Amino acid sequence: MDYENMTDEWPKKKRKEAAYTRGVMTGIIAGVFAVLAVVCTAFGVAFNLGYIHIGINGEVYVQGDAATDSRGVGSNVEGKLNALDSLMDYFYFDNVDEELAQSNIYKAYLASYGDKYTVYYTPEEYKALVESTTGTFYGIGAVCQKHEDGTIKIIDAYEEAPAFKAGIRTGDFISKVNGTDIRDMDLSSAVALIKGDIGTTVELEVIREEKHFNVMVTRDKVSTQTVKYELKENGIGYVAISQFEEVTTNQFKMAVEDLMAQGMKGLIVDIRSNPGGMLTTVVDMLDYILPDGLIVYTEDKNGKRTEYSGKNSAELTVPMAVLVNGDSASASEIFAGALQDYGKGRIIGTQTFGKGIVQTIKPLTDGSAVKFTIAKYFTPKGQDIHGKGVMPDEMVELNSDAEGDEQLNAALNYLNNQIN
């Protein structure tokens, strides 16, 4: 064996293998750096264009639409705002709450759009808004609706809840919360003031039959019962829905199933004075009632159409009547309009409110949020409800001087005829 040649070739082979390994590692490292460079460049571009934001808590927010604070109306008014700030700082006799001033500037700008459903929420207001849609929160236990004069109308004061115990009743109006006039606030912002920690108190200025008085209410945990029901004579079920929240779908299904077990032959759904709620909830409820098909659709400013259709092949087969009035709004109108288009139930009462637009909420990186209108919604047959409302199949006014509930009696008469 030629040991001399062997010892000469072995180091050469090792050197080649080492060089190859170094080359591969160099290529891998170069590739990694190249990828990182591309990623960093893409991140920088996306960040500058407003697709990526970094919150004050260090979290990274990624959004589908570009949004940046580097340009826009703020740049145009910045100089004048600073001039006003300097003027007030020099001459104004008192101090200013700068955080409150900034929040009010944001609120005022969005109010300039002329859409009362487009609003700015402070971090505290947004937190309270999120809590209010879950069905469990700390508050006074009342369904509220914004009245035309800016006050809050109590649509339903839950029995055994804090508001009812303190003397507040359905039909009352609230004008101030802890001394703050809420008539220029949107509903969610005003309700956020009413809510608070369990055991704390809130002072409400209440208006009842033009009389003003103050009520102290102790906040407590409130589990929203949005559905009440009973079986009336001749096997007619009655279900009243106060609002469409996360808990409403299950509450509604349980009510109907219980009534069916009791021998229900016809169903009245009462959504009078129901201010609306979550689109997903009303779609799920209609999916439970209607045959497969289109339930509602929306169109944005560019004409882009989004459809919501049923997935449940089963449907409710008993005769139905739906009670509505001028305070039935938003999701209530989707509910009534869809049943009307399918001929699934007779709509009885008065013309509904006419809120046929859809809002979305975008949280911002500092914990605040913006709610704004993004589309109009239409019933399956294309009814444009906004500003018009749903016209009942049977117009029945509610006469306060009459004995009993004329609208409910009309629904009972209709279903009795259908059953017989």
What is the DSSP secondary structure assignment for residue 396, as one 8-state letter? -
> Which of the following is catalytic: 172, 284, 341, 371?
341
Is 301 a residue of the active site? Answer: no
Distance, CA of 204 to CA of 32 (rounded, Å):
63
* CB neighbour burial string for 139-171, b if at least 16 within 10 angstroms, e if fewer: bbbbbbbbbeeebbbbbbbbeebbbbbbebeee
The three-state secondary structure class of 277 is strand
Rg (CA), the chain: 30
> Which of the following is catalytic: 132, 330, 332, 368?
330
- Name the residue type at position 188: S
Distance, CA of 400 to CA of 167 (rounded, Å):
23
Is 330 a residue of the active site? Answer: yes
Tell me if 234 sits within 8 A of 419, measured CB to CB: yes
> Which of the following is catalytic: 176, 265, 355, 371?
355
Distance, CA of 162 to CA of 158 (rounded, Å):
8
Is 165 a residue of the active site? Answer: no
How many CA atoms lie within 13 Å of 60's alpha carbon, on the beta-carbon side? 7
Task: List the catalytic residues.
Answer: 330, 341, 355
